[in-house]
Amino acid sequence: MARVELDGVGKRYPNGFEAVQAFSIDIQPGEFIVLVGPSGCGKSTTLRMVAGLESITTGELRIDGRRVNEAAPKARDVAMVFQSYALYPHMTAFENMAFGLKLQKVPKADIEQRVRKVAEQLAISDLLDRKPKAMSGGQRQRIAIGRAIVRAPKVFLFDEPLSNLDAKLRLQMRVELSKLHRSLGATSLYVTHDQVEAMTLADRIVLLKGGVVQQIGAPLELYDRPDNTFVATFIGSPAMNLLTGERTAAGVTGAGFQVAFQGAGQVGQPVVLGVRPEHLRPVEAGAAVFSGTVEVVEPMGSESFVYCRHGEQLLVVRTKDAPPSPGALMHLAPEPGRLHLFDGATQGRLG
């Protein structure tokens, strides 16, 4: 277990592209940090800088208080699980897992014992004599994870380890990773673009966009108090409804709606109003804030997503009740106290 500090870490590639800018986070020993963001936002780059596979252009990286910017990967004592698994094709699963220990000159008997123990933990004991070629994707992924665990490194790095698995296997592996983390308690940095993985695995989520950190916080913190409209729409599915309008004394007024709102913002200020789909409730016509016709209904089983046309805007409503049929008129009002208000200019959170 180790503390990992990124202090204004930035990466500029030789072609001049700024992939990551001023990334700062203090990761506590045993913490599970998930990096999320759209494709190309610099998640892998950040991970590879921590791994030592990519040089750090600016800032400082410290592991257990020691600066490791210039340290070679093997001096950092971190292990990485690659999206492609990257198992050595000419070695058996056992040899794959033992490779790192062998290089560290760990006695043979110890290697044997450690590999067997981890294999048992991951339920891959009967695969140890097989080569990667003779394994399924899920089995290879387990071996790759086992190879990282067996070295008992200070820090675990995962780069989209589950993205090559089918949906069912991914869910299963996600649960197992979660259990594994609880039993190992190792500091982990996990990259994904799957927000469900992020929400379920993370102690804290880091949301990146274009190489810039948007928000760092516990999953529900990002969900309940997004720092800006990007975070608001990225976390949560279906995404938060955003409506542009203007701050008035009583609340917010926009195209075809008026809603009461207390607190932040100055009268006359352009704002963006955010409402999560589950915080929009069908109401009587008299109490309606938004009214519109239902365009699409997506039944999910336990709940339904209803897409309702309000002027220019398509509002998403999440409801557990029997959904209206398309074409029906729907009257909606947000739950009081569940509104998000963002600055219309900066897109930053007002309240």
Ligand X SMILES: Nc1ncnc2c1ncn2[C@@H]1O[C@H](COP(=O)(O)OP(=O)(O)OP(=O)(O)O)[C@@H](O)[C@H]1O
Residue where the block lists tokens 């106290």: 337
Q: Give the residue from 16, 308, 51 showing the smallest Cα distance to 155.
A: 51
Does 40 participate in binding ligand X (rule CB under 6 A)?
yes
Question: Using alpha carbons only, what angle is made at residue 28 by residues 237 and 149, rounded to the nearest 5 degrees?
Answer: 85
Q: Which is nearer to ligand X, 39 or 266 (CB)?
A: 39
Q: Which is nearer to ligand X, 19 or 111 (CB)?
A: 19
Q: Which is nearer to ligand X, 47 or 339 (CB)?
A: 47
Q: 134 is in the binding site of which of ligand X, other proteins, Mg ion, none (Cβ under 5 to 8 A by kind)?
A: other proteins
The distance of closest approach from Cβ of residue 193 to Mg ion in the complex, given in angstroms and rounded to an integer, is 8
Say if CB 87 and CB 161 are below 8 A apart: no
Which residues form the interface with other proteins (CB under 8 A)?
Answer: 51-53, 73-74, 78-80, 82-90, 99-100, 103-104, 131-135, 137, 140, 147, 151, 164
Residue where the block lists tokens 């899920």: 138
Does 192 participate in binding Mg ion (rule CB under 5 A)?
no
Say if CB 80 and CB 157 are below 8 A apart: yes
Say if CB 161 and CB 81 are below 8 A apart: yes
Does 41 participate in binding ligand X (rule CB under 6 A)?
yes
Rg value, the chain, Cα: 24
Does 193 participate in binding ligand X (rule CB under 6 A)?
yes
Of residues 15-44, those binding Mg ion (CB under 5 A): 44
Q: Which is nearer to Mg ion, 11 or 279 (CB)?
A: 11
Phi, psi of 110 (to 5 degrees): -60, -45
Edge-first strand order for the sheet with 304-310 is 280-282, 329-334, 290-299, 304-310, 313-319
Does 101 participate in binding ligand X (rule CB under 6 A)?
no
The distance of closest approach from Cβ of residue 76 to Mg ion in the complex, given in angstroms and rounded to an integer, is 20
Query: Footprint of ligand X on this chain (CB under 6 A)?
Result: 13, 15, 17, 19, 37, 39-45, 193
Query: Footprint of Mg ion on this chain (CB under 5 A)?
Result: 44
